[in-house]
């Protein structure tokens, strides 16, 4: 695992996931805000990562985490909530309102995760319940922190801007997809649009982030960061629109694997995935299929609605 200081007070911690291709797939972001005498952690990752993450934080000489932010409660982001809270009972969790109940009682989250991720759930580990007392008040007004509602990747998704000594850091979750800076300096991006996906909602969320003023750095949980905030957001929006064009043109009844084949041929950004190693490409193919399936589901629902509306109007 890697611990890297991006700027003074902003640290990226690569999370432990014991499976080939996942060694550099998920990270947490640690903010050590000396001016406010505050430590803030952005996500824990899955259950399997929680204890190693605590050890990494301790290795930095940090014994207290004041606040923990979750962009959403999928198990690769928030599965470790209950375990982390047992070790750090002082930490208050800032969580999107629609996701809070699923951290307290993760039964439905576990069922949904098993349906979507299959055996990957066993690698991530099943989430432990979070004590409701650990949740920060919904109306918490934390100096330096702005919360932006960004549904699309999931209905319970928030992004955050944290002002760290004048540097405004955007934690976008998966609202703008996944971002990987490869060894040769090229960038590989793709949408994160699993079932149940709503295209217009996701595009409006990116627009909402693009309307923010003077953000300096964008940080992704999968996997890197960039100082070209609006450039990366514009690229994500353009790619999402291109995917809609490509997948909408496919024959009715197409499968996710067929959609991915079409995307790999027609999306120039996906050519950069050749810079991944073979295990990373296997991992990425799984998530590309999930995202393509989200598009196919959206298109099928939209077509069914059009057909139903057209029948009743004639």
List the structure tokens of 100: 């809070």
Closest residue by Cα to residue 75 from 57, 41, 42, 49 = 49
Instruction: Give the separation between CA 78 and CA 287, rounded to whole angstroms.
Output: 18
Closest residue by Cα to residue 207 from 149, 160, 162, 248 = 149
Domain assignment of residue 308, yes or no: no
Domain assignment of residue 314, yes or no: no
List the structure tokens of 285: 């193919």
Domain assignment of residue 17, yes or no: yes
Domain assignment of residue 211, yes or no: yes
Per the structure, the count of domains in the chain is 1
| pLDDT of res. 305 | 59
| pLDDT of res. 304 | 80
Please give the biggest Cα pair distance in the chain: 70
**At 160, is the secondary structure helix, strand, or coil?**
strand
Domain assignment of residue 312, yes or no: no
Global pTM value = 0.95
Q: How many CA atoms lie within 13 A of 206 on its CB side?
A: 26
| pLDDT of res. 306 | 56
- Residue pair 174/222 in contact by the 8 Å Cβ criterion: yes
94: number of Cβ within 10 Å: 21
Domain assignment of residue 217, yes or no: yes
139: number of Cβ within 10 Å: 5
Domain assignment of residue 207, yes or no: yes
CATH number for 229 = 3.60.15.10
Quote the domain boundaries for residue 96. 3-303
| pLDDT of res. 42 | 98
Domain assignment of residue 227, yes or no: yes
Taking the alpha carbons of 224, 180, 128, 123 in that order, is the dihedral positive or negative?
negative
| pLDDT of res. 313 | 55
Sorted by sequence, the CB contacts under 8 Å of residue 7 that are 6+ apart come out as 164, 167, 217
Residues of the chain below pLDDT 50: 307-308, 311-312
| pLDDT of res. 160 | 98
- Residue pair 90/40 in contact by the 8 Å Cβ criterion: no
| pLDDT of res. 242 | 98
């Amino acid at each position: 695992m890697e611990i890297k200081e991006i700027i003074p007070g902003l640290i990226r911690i690569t999370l432990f996931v014991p499976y080939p291709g996942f060694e550099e797939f998920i990270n947490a972001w640690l903010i050590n805000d000396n001016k406010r005498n505050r430590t803030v952690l952005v996500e824990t990752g899955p259950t399997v990562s929680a204890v190693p993450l605590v050890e990494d934080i301790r290795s930095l000489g940090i014994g207290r985490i004041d606040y923990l932010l979750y962009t959403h409660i999928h198990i690769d982001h928030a599965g470790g909530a209950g375990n982390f809270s047992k070790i750090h009972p002082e930490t208050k969790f800032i969580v999107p309102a629609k996701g809070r109940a699923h951290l307290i009682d993760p039964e439905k989250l576990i069922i949904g995760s098993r349906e979507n991720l299959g055996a990957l759930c066993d690698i991530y580990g099943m989430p432990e319940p979070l004590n409701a007392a650990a949740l920060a008040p919904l109306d918490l007004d934390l100096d330096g922190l702005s919360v932006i509602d960004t549904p699309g990747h999931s209905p319970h998704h928030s992004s955050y801007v944290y002002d760290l000594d004048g540097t405004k850091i955007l934690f976008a979750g998966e609202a703008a997809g996944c971002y990987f800076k490869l060894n040769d300096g090229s960038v590989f991006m793709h949408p994160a649009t699993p079932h149940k996906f709503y295209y217009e909602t996701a595009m409006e969320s990116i627009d909402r982030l693009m309307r923010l003023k003077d953000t300096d750095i964008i940080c992704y949980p999968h996997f890197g960061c960039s100082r070209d905030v609006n450039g990366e957001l514009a690229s994500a929006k353009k790619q999402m629109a291109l995917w809609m064009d490509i997948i909408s043109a496919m024959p009715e009844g197409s499968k996710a694997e067929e959609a991915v084949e079409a995307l790999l041929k027609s999306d120039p950004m996906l050519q950069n995935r050749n810079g991944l190693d073979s295990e990373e490409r296997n991992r990425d193919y799984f998530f590309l299929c999930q995202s393509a399936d989200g598009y196919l589901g959206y298109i099928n629902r939209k077509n069914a609605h059009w057909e139903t509306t057209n029948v009743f109007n004639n």
